A and B are shown apart, each in its own frame.
Chain A
Amino acid sequence: MTNEKVDVVIVGAGASGSVYASVLARAGKKVVLLDNGPDWQLQDLISSEIWGRRIKPAGAPVLLEGKHPMGYTSQAGWGVGGAALHYFANFPRYLPTDFRIKSEHNRAHDWPISYNDLAPFYDKVAAEIGVSGDARQEEKWRPAGKPYPMPPMKTFPNGEVWLKAAEANGIHFVPAAVGMTSVEWKGRSACLYDGWCHQGCPIGALANPVVTYLQDARKAKAEVRPFSTVTRVLTNPAGTRVTGVEYYDYNKQKQFQPASVVILAAWSAQNPRILLNSATDKHPKGLANKNGLVGKFMMTHHIAGTWALFDEDITPHMGTIGAQFMSYDRYAKTSYPNAFGSTFIVAGAAMKTGDYAAARGDLFGPELAEFMKRAARGLTRITFFGEGLPRMENRVELAQDKDEFGMPMAKLIHSFDDDALALWNANFDQGVKVAKATGAKEVWPGKGPVVPTTHLHGGAIMGTSAANSVVNSFGQTHEIPNLWMAGPCTFPSEGASNPTYTIFAVSQRGAEHLASKWKTVST
């Protein structure tokens, strides 16, 4: 079935897709958002670790390979709002060094834009959706910008116990910048600090797309179509323009949605999958893939979490799932000898009972039961997010296995290099030192045979030309002017900061550019 042609079809109603929808719909464009999952509403977001899994990935899994497979499922999303429906909302910016890693260290590649190009959009996003924090304090590490619209969040003993210990180890913590409401703001309630963020926040304190960009987009008449699984982007016979997308609706009927512009804003593993599955005689390797770079340079952060257990009641359950405090004091790429890459540090996340159990995965039986009682009073964690450099061999490919629509599944192959592993180990050493300095009764690194990962980037990276990238700095593909990519798939390197604030900022920049160049792009 062919639908009425629209100006823009956006594939994926998560962080980046919602920004594009908001900006373009408010610019008067007719926008349709297609998402493969349900149209979640705030009242669906039940406070339960078990029920919270409903908003996590469903359907065909991504097949994981490599020495260090990317464990994506708890952090990715399913349905309208995407992963941003339940994200941690830590809002650290990327730092200027992240954009110049080639220039400064002769490693990987530079971004085609600088921090200064993005800075106004960080400020704009903060004003648009609300950030709580103390910008002045974090400007110790970055150029000055506008103050955040809300003061920092409240803190609790499970975060405060880290402050002196970190300082003694040369790590200065400041209030974490978070996409949450520390006070009532724009009609949204102030956070209650009960830690039910990762299950989705039904009071709108968490800046998820449902209460921010998607709400704006809907007000501007953007249409959201849930349960719509896109399998291909179609082109004209010459292969010079895309004409729309093929998708399967709730009833598993094939539909065609024509559009003047197509924006792929699914997820970093899904966007390349769709491009690769859209191969034609004019694009035999997939769309925007003449250079073979689609699906390449997949990156993920490694996590080094160190635990501390106190006898005292430090209220482990209080706060938010994000962080109370953050530090860039190990962000310099050469912070540790014999390792390379940035590290971003946070402390003071609220925990649920599942987190207590996960803290000592080796325990079972009566020993686990005893530990759970102690953890409920005295458990806390310091977390180091570490950078992995972009590597061509870390990639998304189409697998032989197919999903229910006959579309090849995505295969995500990922291995860390020696630099990343050295950084991961150094971060554990650092974490244990800090944890011991807290005076906790017990301290242990959360280290096992599997390298924990979070945040997927790459697959359609931005650059200066088709020789080194898939898209330009705005997300427009080099090969097909009305085909755009959105989200962390376009990041050419990943820094160590939680990426969603940067996803919003990059998307805002791209969407405004697209709106301003609409005639050129759409015709």
Chain B
Amino acid sequence: MAEIQRRAFVKGAALGAFAFTVGGSTVMLTPARARAENVPFRLLNRAEADAIEAVGDTLVPGARAAGIAHFIDQQTACPPEEALLALRIANGRPPYINFYRVALKAIDGASSKAFGKTFAALAAADQRSVVDAMRTNKAEAWQGPPGPFVYNIFRSDAVDVVYGTMEGYEALGVPYMPHIAPDKRW
């Protein structure tokens, strides 16, 4: 029994992609592909996804196209012991979606206080300003987990989807040299 369960548990890893639901069926896609194919979100609403993409791209250019919102959506929707999020390594407490929702509210609250708009609606320079205030724990009207912690988690997620993949290594000229290669991008 345990062996069967273990194999089921690692199914995603063996296929090297994440399980997304498309048209009622489960398909294995990378987050970038899931975004390109406009796969519906399981937990995030459109505004939350837009905010994640905006925060991600401000932190790490390319995070939007790499599918950061689909990555977080898929990872927060799966059982927490299967989650591969940086939040898990930062001792986050499941359900992980709660952290992201509270953090996004805090970011939008700080954006509204500073510039009168949600984060996703800000100009790029203003987005940088909000992120820097969050990083240094100086964001006004901040209500949520500590700003530096939120910064670190979103930054790690963005680094994951942009640089943590085989393509990301290739873009930096770093040989990936896998023992067991993750299929496709990871």
Q: How far is the CA of A227 from the CA of B8 in the complex (A)?
A: 14
Q: How far is the CA of A368 from the CA of B131 in the complex (A)?
A: 14
Q: How far is the CA of A225 from the CA of B2 in the complex (A)?
A: 8
8 Å CB contacts to A: which residues of B63-89?
Answer: 80-86, 88-89
Q: Which of A36-44, A94-102, A176-184, A280-288 contacts B (4 or more CB under 8 A)?
A: A36-44
Q: Are B180 and A61 in contact (CB under 8 A)?
A: no
In the complex, what's the smallest C-beta–C-beta distance from B18 to chain A, in angstroms?
10
**Contact A48/B59 with A53-B84, A361-B152 known, Cβ cut-off 8 Å:** no
CB-CB nearest in chain B for A409 = B93
Main secondary structure of the interface of A (DSSP, over half): loop
Q: Are B131 and A50 in contact (CB under 8 A)?
A: no
Q: Are B164 and A47 in contact (CB under 8 A)?
A: no
CB-CB nearest in chain A for B173 = A376
Answer whether residue A109 sits at the interface, using C-beta atoms and an 8 A cutoff: no
Q: Are B13 and A44 in contact (CB under 8 A)?
A: yes
Residues of the B chain whose Cβ atoms lie less than 8 Å from the Cβ of A337: none
**Contact A58/B88 with A44-B10, A317-B174, A364-B155 known, Cβ cut-off 8 Å:** yes
Q: How far is the CA of A57 from the CA of B84 in the complex (A)?
A: 11
Q: Which of A71-79, A112-120, A129-137, A322-330 contacts B (4 or more CB under 8 A)?
A: A71-79
Pick the contact of A354: B10, B58, B151, B159 (CB < 8 A): B159
Q: Are A47 and B135 in contact (CB under 8 A)?
A: no
Residues of the A chain whose Cβ atoms lie less than 8 Å from the Cβ of B181: 46-47
Most chain B beta-carbon neighbours within 10 Å: one of A50, A369, A376: A50
Q: Which of A23-31, A196-204, A420-428 contacts B (4 or more CB under 8 A)?
A: A196-204
Residues of the A chain whose Cβ atoms lie less than 8 Å from the Cβ of B168: 353
Q: How far is the CA of A72 from the CA of B90 in the complex (A)?
A: 9
8 Å CB contacts to B: which residues of A342-367?
Answer: 352-354, 356-357, 361-362, 364-366
Residues of the B chain whose Cβ atoms lie less than 8 Å from the Cβ of A250: 1-2, 5
Pick the contact of B89: A53, A226, A356, A372 (CB < 8 A): A53
Please give the number of chain B residues whose Cβ is less than 8 angstroms from any Cβ of chain A in the complex: 54
In the complex, what's the smallest C-beta–C-beta distance from B29 to chain A, in angstroms?
15
Residues of the B chain whose Cβ atoms lie less than 8 Å from the Cβ of A317: 174-175, 177
Answer whether residue B145 sits at the interface, using C-beta atoms and an 8 A cutoff: no
Contact with A along B143-185 (1 / 0, CB 8 A): 0000010011001100110011100110011111111111000
**Contact A48/B182 with A58-B81, A365-B59 known, Cβ cut-off 8 Å:** yes
In the complex, what's the smallest C-beta–C-beta distance from A57 to chain B, in angstroms?
8
Contact with B along A126-170 (1 / 0, CB 8 A): 000000000000000000000000000000000000000000000
CB-CB nearest in chain B for A36 = B81
Residues of the B chain whose Cβ atoms lie less than 8 Å from the Cβ of A377: 173
Answer whether residue B95 sits at the interface, using C-beta atoms and an 8 A cutoff: no
In the complex, what's the smallest C-beta–C-beta distance from B73 to chain A, in angstroms?
15
CB-CB nearest in chain B for A45 = B180
CB-CB nearest in chain B for A226 = B2
Residues of the B chain whose Cβ atoms lie less than 8 Å from the Cβ of A41: 6
CB-CB nearest in chain A for B2 = A226
Pick the contact of A194: B62, B165, B179 (CB < 8 A): B179
Answer whether residue A451 sits at the interface, using C-beta atoms and an 8 A cutoff: no
**Contact A49/B164 with A56-B89, A58-B81, A361-B152 known, Cβ cut-off 8 Å:** yes
A–B pairs, 15, beta carbons within 8 Å: A37-B81, A39-B6, A44-B6, A47-B179, A47-B181, A53-B86, A64-B91, A202-B180, A227-B5, A364-B60, A364-B128, A364-B135, A369-B60, A369-B61, A373-B172
B residues in contact (CB < 8 Å) with A: 1-3, 5-6, 9-10, 13, 16, 58-62, 80-86, 88-93, 128, 131, 135, 148, 151-152, 155-156, 159-160, 163-165, 168-169, 172-182, 186
A residues in contact (CB < 8 Å) with B: 37-41, 43-51, 53-54, 56-59, 61-62, 64, 71-74, 78, 192, 194-196, 201-203, 225-227, 250, 317, 352-354, 356-357, 361-362, 364-366, 368-369, 372-373, 376-377, 449
